[in-house]
A = this chain, B = another copy of it.
Amino acid sequence: MRPLVHPAIEDVQPEAILYALSDPRRAAIFARITKAGCVEACSAVSAVGDQVIPKSSLSSHFKVLREAGLIRSERHGVEMRNHSRCAEVEARFPGLLSAIMNAYAAQAR
């Protein structure tokens, strides 16, 4: 099993962030992680809204978020803890994440 990929913040690309968050399920997962500070992956997020997501799909969603630089995943025993990197990303691209998350929130209303 290859090690998890976490890009250095200076290697994080806007296109990867936009792509990652252009999927409403990934955006919802990211919002949950950011709000909670830390979410136990996959098992804790087995569904988004009323939509059940197979665990292989979930795993790849986490991978996309991770490789875009939006989250950091570390194994703690048998489970994974995912932390939002939103402070780092905010420093690199000011206003980006909050504008995106606000846009989704505005749409929901």
Contact = CB atoms under 8 A, between A and B. Distances in A.
A21 interface: yes
A7 interface: no
Contacts of A23: 15
Interface in A6-21: 13-19, 21
A22 B13 CA distance: 10
Interface string A9-41: 000011111110111100100000000000000
Contacts of A14: 27, 100, 103-104, 106-107
Contacts of A13: 107
B21 A18 contact: yes
Interface in A53-109: 92-96, 98-100, 102-104, 106-107
Interface of A: 13-19, 21-24, 27, 92-96, 98-100, 102-104, 106-107
